[in-house]
Amino acid sequence: MGLDVDSRNCPNFCHARSPTGLEIERSTKQRKEPLRKKSLSNKYAAYYFAGLPIILPFRRRNYGLLAIIVFPAEAMFALLVVDWFPLWLSLRVAAIATVCVLALGTLLAYLLSHKTFRGKHLIDSLITLPLVLPPTVLGYYLLVIAGRASPFGHIYEAIFGQPLVFTWQAAVVAAFLHSAPIYIKAATAVLETVDYRFEWAAQSLGASEWRTFWRVTLPLAWRGLSSLAALSFARSLGDFGVTIMVAGNIPDQTQTLSVAIYDAVESGDGALARMLVLVVSVLALALLWPAAYLSRRNRPATNV
Amino acid sequence: MSTDARLIKRLPAIADTDSFELNVHLRAEAGITVLFGPSGAGKSLILNCLGGFARPDEGRILVNDRLFFDAATHVHLPPRDRRCGYIFQDHALFPHMTVRENLWFAAASRSSVDGRLNRHRRINELLEAFELTELAGRKPVQLSGGQKQRAALARTLVNEPSLLLLDEPARGLDARLRESFYEMLRRTHEQVRVPVLLVTHDLDECFELADSVCLIENGRFTQSGSRDSVFKRPANTEIARSLGIYNILPAEIIALDPSRNLSRLRVFEFELEGPYFPGHLIGDSGYICVPSSEVHVRPDAGRRTPNNLVFRVIAQAASPRGVRLQFERGVVAIVAESEYKILKGNDRLAIEFPASSIYFVGK
């Protein structure tokens, strides 16, 4: 709190304010929540105080091309002062969701690519459904199915001692729904490209289907599947619609990266929003670039 | 050591393929049985049914008195319990494993070879027998075509299969590799005494390897039996035509003499002498089948010589086995390059059909 007061005394503080003036509202809101530890404007103020107002003259103007220099510079500052909780939460949520997608999705993809059974096309369509439905619809379904009043919600609460909705675990479910359909679709295609002759040869040599899968099918498909794993991790980072419906926007609890960006933009915290957008973009690119290398020679060696 | 399979499998029409019905009764003894027929005749489907990768709609499969499949009692052994060595066209060596690992995979997949030591011993024996010891650490991509074949064969033999299934194993190989593969297959067959079922659409391969042959056309066996009985005595002109090695000419029997093993036939305006044809009567009309490679061609001397037919040449083409001469009325003769030099320039040539190679097929 003290810092806030200090920053008011600082003649430079007005420069740190965003053009819309929403920053002021934010800081007044924060004053009502004394438990909120980190506030961006606080920290900026601290840094300006600390004698680093080098970029300040630029902030008043239309940056033009200088933005190329100014934004990264600002980002460097922000790296030190931003509340990173949403990033860690997103990474954790995405990691758990990806593990679930890999386990469940690979199983489903194997069944879809290798088996014929009744209702296969129905399951196929159900898997595609989350891709085409609006996130709000999915979120609504989840709230109905897993809400505290629902049977599933009761069971969950009985087992884990807390409700699923509006916890970060709900964000995992949302991220799972966001990335599973694409993973399953693509993994089915990848597993289909594994030459059936290798699998037949393995089985005629006496290997069980399980052994054939682990020792033959999976090693032959791992390039494609691992690039898909990177893709689904990147995609899990990015869910917004379902997350905000089932996990909400509770700072320091369920606020994932994409929700934090929304929040920052809504509250006019342009610097934070830019920072987080940059982080998400770089992270996604860093994931997809190697994945592209993996999927480049995705085609399994059919001609030995 | 015998295979007895009665198979009925119906494939419904999908998209642009017509519906198909396989209906065969395959009986194979210990030797090499070749399923010979054009693409799409159902040869590979038979192998898949035997190997357990396709489930017949009706029928029964018995291999060495083991029941693999029985529609009536719903027996359907999964592929891993059938102990069939399946060799694919491109060998299907696992590309991510070395040769030794490929063999080890086979040994470790079946409990028939117990214990790590025994497995290693068995693998080493096979690597030795197939001259693969030095190559054991290589991945399949680092092997030549012939080495891959040896590795694939060795891998199937690790578990002492009760039946070897080969699906066009020599397709896409050059002549030298083919020869060595045939040689290796025959030698393996001698040593291991395992029944072999081989699918091919290559006539040379069929001729070279087969102890017995099943000709298959559109999902049905048209003729089966020992190699000679099938190739020397095709059951009808359709089969003779599909083999593609015969001259087929309409003929009528005008005389039969069982005591001297002789017959006389009228072919077009010519008269031919042939062996006695049991089961046929004087006056029967049908076709004579004479292999294109067994006729002799010489310049037309003008006078009538027995068993010589004079035809006009309409086309000639070089082939690896000699010059292929195409005559009027669909007669084909294959002559050596040196012979062809003498014949060149003559419009009409006399073709001798040796009496012993004439085979008569009723209508």
Judge whether B83 is closer than 8 Å to chain A, CB to CB: yes
How many residues are given for chain A? 304
In angstroms, the CA B24 to CA B5 distance is 8
List the single residue in A204, A205, A220 with the smallest CB-CB distance to B96. Answer: A220
pLDDT at B68: 92
Tokens representing residue A140 in the block: 């609504």
Residues 6+ apart with CB under 8 A from B223: B213, B214, B215, B230, B234, B235, B239
pLDDT of residue B112: 59
Taking the Cβ of residue A204 and every Cβ of chain B, the question of whether any pair is shorter than 8 Å is answered with yes
Dihedral Cα B56, B185, A302, B101, nearest 10 deg: 100
Nearest CB neighbour to B91, from listed A215, A301, A304: A304
> Residue A33 has what pLDDT?
43
Determine whether the interchain pair B80/A203 forms a contact, defined as Cβ–Cβ distance below 8 Å: yes
Residue with tokens 């005389």: B255
Distance CA A216, CA A222 (A): 10
Q: What are phi and psi of A102, to 5 degrees?
A: -60, -45
Bridge partner list, B335: B323
pLDDT of residue A67: 64
Q: What is the pLDDT of residue A77?
A: 66
One-letter amino acid at B36 equals: F
Encode pLDDT of B53-66 as tens digits. 989 999 999 988 88
Retrieve residue A86's tokens: 């949403």
* Strands annotated E in A25-147: none
Percent of chain B past pLDDT 90, that is, above it, reads 21
From the list B175, B152, B157, the residue with the least C-alpha distance to B89 is B152
Can you give the pTM of this predicted structure?
Answer: 0.76
Q: Does A215 touch chain B (CB under 8 A)?
A: yes
| Neighbour count for residue B295 (Cβ, 10 Å) | 22
Q: CB–CB of A215 and B84 under 8 A?
A: no
* Closest partner CB to A198 (pick from B53, B94, B148): B94
Contact B103, B123 (CB under 8 A): yes
Q: How far apart are alpha carbons B331 and B352 in whole angstroms?
A: 12
**Any idea what DSSP says for residue B17?**
S
Specify burial of residue B361 (Cβ count, 10 A radius: 0-12, 13-18, 19+).
buried
Give the torsion through C-alpha atoms of A251, A254, A259, A260, to 10 deg: 30
Element holding A255 (H helix, E strand) = none
CB-CB contact of B251 with B267 (8 Å): yes
Backbone angles phi, psi at B278, to 5 degrees: -65, 145
Torsion of CA A208, A210, A214, A218, to 10 degrees: 110
Q: What pLDDT was estimated at residue A79?
A: 65
CB neighbour class for A42 (10 Å; exposed up to 12, middle 13-18, buried from 19) = buried
Half-sphere exposure at residue A182, Cβ-oriented, CA atoms within 13 angstroms: 18
The whole-number pLDDT of residue A122 equals: 94
Cross-strand partners of A18: none
- Say if residue B297 is exposed, middle or buried (CB neighbours under 10 Å; 0-12, 13-18, 19+): buried
Kindly report, residue by residue over B241-292, the tens digit of the pLDDT: 888 788 888 888 888 888 888 888 888 888 888 888 888 888 888 888 888 8
Residue B80 class from Cβ within 10 Å (0-12 exposed, 13-18 middle, 19+ buried)?
buried
Residues of B whose CB is below 8 A from A219: 96
Instruction: Give every CB contact of residue A81 below 8 A, 6+ residues apart in sequence.
Output: A40, A43, A44, A46, A47
- Output the pLDDT for position A191: 94
CB B270 within 8 A of CB B287: no
Q: What is the reported pLDDT for A31?
A: 41
Q: Choose the weakest-confidence range: A105-119, B10-24, B75-89.
A: B10-24
- Asked if the model's pLDDT at residue B116 lies above 80, the reply is yes
- DSSP code at position A17: S
Nearest chain A residue to B95 by CA distance is: A304
Contact B82, B160 (CB under 8 A): no
pLDDT tens column, A183-222: 999 999 999 999 999 999 999 998 999 999 999 999 999 9
Interatomic CA distance for residues A96 and A142, integer angstroms? 18
Chain A positions touching B123 (Cβ under 8 A) are: none
Q: How confident is the model at residue B322 (pLDDT cuts 50, 70, 90)?
A: confident
Closest residue in B to A219 (Cα) is B96
Does the distance separating the beta carbons of B155 and A216 come in below 8 Å?
no
Q: Report CB contact under 8 Å: B109, A207.
A: yes
pLDDT tens digits, B207-239? 888 899 999 988 888 888 888 888 888 888 888
> What average pLDDT is seen over chain B?
86
Cα A207 to the chain's mean position, in Å?
A: 39
How far is Cα A30 from Cα A15, in angstroms, rounded to an integer?
A: 20
At residue B164, what are phi and psi to the nearest 5 degrees? -105, 130
The tens place of each residue's pLDDT in chain A, 304 residues long, gives 333 333 333 333 333 334 433 443 444 444 444 444 444 444 444 444 333 334 444 444 556 666 666 666 666 666 666 678 888 999 999 999 999 999 999 999 999 999 988 999 999 999 999 999 999 999 999 999 988 888 998 899 888 888 888 889 999 999 999 999 999 999 999 999 999 999 999 999 989 999 999 999 999 999 889 999 999 999 999 899 999 999 988 888 889 999 999 998 998 887 788 888 888 899 999 988 888 887 765 455 554 4
Q: Looking at residue B276, what DSSP letter applies? A: -
Instruction: Tell me the pairing of strands B58-63 and B220-226.
Output: unpaired
Q: Residue B109 and residue A206: Cβ atoms within 8 Å?
A: yes
Sign of CA dihedral B192, B196, B200, B204: positive
| Closest approach of A193 to chain B, Cα-based (Å) | 14
CB spacing of A202 vs B93 below 8 angstroms: no
**Tokens read off for A59:** 């902030």
Is B90 in Cβ contact with A304 (below 8 Å)? Answer: yes
Q: What is the pLDDT of residues B171-190, one digit of tens each?
A: 777 888 888 889 888 888 88
Q: pLDDT value at position B237?
A: 82
Q: How distant, in Å, are the alpha carbons of A70, A282, B234, B294 from that of B246?
A: 88, 73, 10, 9
Query: Hey, is the C-beta of A220 within 8 angstroms of any chain B C-beta?
Result: yes
CA atoms within 13 A on the CB side of A255: 14
Question: Cβ–Cβ of B109/A301 closer than 8 Å?
Answer: no
Nearest alpha carbon to residue A78 among A26, A52, A40, A38: A40
CA nearest neighbour of B273 among B261, B282, B265, B284: B265
The whole-angstrom distance between A208's CA and the closest CA on chain B is 6
- d(C-alpha B115, C-alpha A112), whole Å: 37
Cβ contacts (< 8 Å) between B158 and chain A: which residues? 205
